[in-house]
Amino acid sequence: MIRILEQLFPTLTSPTLRLPAIGEWLLNEVWQANNYPHPDPAAFLRSGEEKVNDLEGLLCASAWRLYDEFQAPPYDNRNLLNFLTDQRPCATVVFDGLSLREVPAILHLAKESGFTVREVGFSQSAIPSETVDFIEERLGLTGTSPVQLPGRQALKEKGIAAYYYPHPNHREQLDAASPALLIWSAFPDATYVGAT
């Protein structure tokens, strides 16, 4: 815990927002994409979880105000609906249930598939939330589950073609003429069984 305290002390004692810096620490220090695939996947996960647990213990003991930031609305540059309506043409994929610890695996799969990742970021706090609540907050759709997104008229009126992928092998013809695509995917936990 001493090393984590040394690394994050300026961040945790800052009067400004701390979540962005903690997110950067998680992505660039704890769950480093260049350490994946790791020769010992269990050691990779164990090492990362130990650092996260140390940070959580430190936060519980000393920085309770940080939890207020978890409840704050998303940053303007992370507003999903704004992105889908303002950045045309655009597309976004939401992996329901994805954790920052899985980011190295996603980046590895993207590279293996020939995709170039332009930006890695985060937009949801560590506090568990229900998917329906997330959709209401981020898309303004009350009482909507991911499976109901394709039929929502409010999205169609905004020019957003929505799709739900319930499993990793799901295939669907996308509306290429739509100026905005939203693909909601159940997190494919089984995808990583063979990769470890």
Question: What is the per-residue pLDDT for 193?
Answer: 40
Looking at residues 53-76, what average pLDDT do you find?
A: 72
Question: What is the per-residue pLDDT for 108?
Answer: 92
- Token readout for 102 is 């899985």
Q: How confident is the model at residue 48 (pLDDT cuts 50, 70, 90)?
A: very high
Mean of all residue pLDDT scores within the chain: 82
H/E segment holding residue 95: strand 90-96
Question: What is the per-residue pLDDT for 170?
Answer: 85
Question: What is the per-residue pLDDT for 182?
Answer: 92
- Provide CB contacts within 8 A for 33, sequence distance 6+: 27, 103, 104, 107, 108, 120
Position 84 pLDDT exceeds 50 = yes
Question: What is the per-residue pLDDT for 67?
Answer: 64
Determine the Cα–Cα distance for residues 12 and 7; give it in Å rounded to an integer. Answer: 10
Q: How confident is the model at residue 63 (pLDDT cuts 50, 70, 90)?
A: low
Cβ pair 160, 178 in contact under 8 A: yes
Cβ pair 158, 84 in contact under 8 A: yes
Q: How confident is the model at residue 115 (pLDDT cuts 50, 70, 90)?
A: confident
pLDDT digits (tens, 9 = 90+) for 117-159: 878 877 665 566 678 888 888 888 998 999 999 999 999 999 9
User: Looking at 133-179, which runs of residues are DSSP E strands?
Assistant: 160-165
Q: How far is CA 168 from CA 95, 171, 172, in A?
A: 11, 9, 12
Determine the Cα–Cα distance for residues 49 and 55; give it in Å rounded to an integer. Answer: 10
Position 51 pLDDT exceeds 70 = yes
Q: Among 1-5, 101-105, 143-147, 163-167, where is mean pLDDT lowest? A: 1-5
Position 160 pLDDT exceeds 80 = yes
Question: What is the per-residue pLDDT for 176?
Answer: 78
- Token readout for 69 is 């930031």
